[in-house]
């Protein structure tokens, strides 16, 4: 058994146990493989095990890997600047870190010009950590949504967050935040939260997607 396959089976087992422990269907929680800083060879190992969708922090790194791995798809989980919006739309299937109206407006304009559709997540920050990790403050979420308008090219998939380390209440706060917006918008909104060390707590609170890097790929090559 390859090292990646063994680690993948371990993560999937942890996810299944966590879901079953709180009465959820294990299939209701997806795994996003965070491949940032790992070479294309590591992603090829993952693809041999059935993983074809990866998360990258930097637009340039994702572009390079996309060229080498045409059968893979990518999600952007790092901060996105307006001047990188076009390549982000071209090379990433999902953008998880949209956090301000001006970026949303730029993405809408470009998506219409390029005639492409991409899934959008709004990164939220409920704890005043914007300067450290980015994210949209709760009071600004509506302005970001207004900037997207009714664009069918950039449908809202959900909220993504990076809670402060060790804050045990963070996941339940995010779950409540998501539920409030579900009721306001009258639509389903997914929640991307939880990583290698805390995915069980995130799943228990209602996470729909966990983002796992080191526990899957090991230390950087």
Name residue, tokens 């087992």: 13
Name residue, tokens 């966990």: 210
Q: Which pLDDT score is estimated for 97? A: 97
Show the domains of the chain with their CATH numbers: 3-217 (3.20.20.10)
Q: Is 65 in a helix, a strand, or coil?
A: helix
Mention every residue, 6+ apart, whose C-beta is less than 8 A from residue 6: none
Q: Which pLDDT score is estimated for 168? A: 79
Q: Which pLDDT score is estimated for 129? A: 73
Residue numbers of the chain with a pLDDT score lower than 50: 1
Q: Which pLDDT score is estimated for 211? A: 98
Interatomic CA distance for residues 1 and 160, integer angstroms: 33
- What are the backbone dihedrals phi and psi of residue 148, each rounded to the nearest 5 degrees, phi first? -75, -30
Interatomic CA distance for residues 179 and 133, integer angstroms: 23
Could you tell me whether strands 73-76 and 209-212 are parallel, antiparallel, or unpaired per DSSP bridges? Answer: unpaired
Longest dimension (CA), the chain: 49
pLDDT tens for 109-168 read 999 999 999 999 999 999 987 656 689 999 999 999 999 998 999 999 999 999 988 887
Q: Which pLDDT score is estimated for 221? A: 52
State the distance between the two ends of the chain, measured CA to CA, in whole angstroms. 19
Q: Which pLDDT score is estimated for 160? A: 98
The whole-model pTM stands at 0.94
């Amino acid at each position: 058994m390859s090292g990646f396959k063994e680690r993948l089976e371990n993560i999937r087992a942890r996810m299944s146990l966590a879901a079953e422990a709180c009465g959820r269907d294990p299939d209701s929680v997806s795994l996003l493989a965070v491949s940032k800083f790992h070479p294309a060879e590591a992603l090829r190992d993952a693809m041999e095990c059935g993983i074809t969708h990866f998360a990258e922090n930097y637009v340039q790194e994702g572009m390079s890997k996309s060229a080498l791995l045409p059968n893979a798809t990518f999600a952007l989980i790092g901060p996105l600047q307006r001047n990188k919006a076009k390549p982000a739309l071209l090379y990433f299937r999902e953008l998880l870190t949209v956090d301000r109206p001006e970026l949303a407006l730029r993405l809408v304009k470009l998506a219409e010009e390029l005639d492409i559709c991409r899934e959008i997540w709004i990164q939220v920050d409920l704890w005043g950590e914007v300067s450290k990790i980015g994210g949209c403050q709760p009071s600004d979420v509506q302005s970001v949504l207004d900037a997207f308008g009714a664009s069918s090219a950039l449908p809202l998939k959900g909220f993504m967050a990076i809670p402060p380390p060790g804050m045990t209440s963070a996941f339940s706060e995010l779950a409540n935040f998501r539920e409030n917006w579900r009721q306001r918008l009258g639509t389903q909104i997914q929640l991307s939260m939880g990583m290698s060390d805390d995915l069980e707590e995130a799943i228990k609170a209602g996470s729909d997607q966990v983002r796992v890097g080191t526990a899957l790929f090991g230390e950087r090559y």
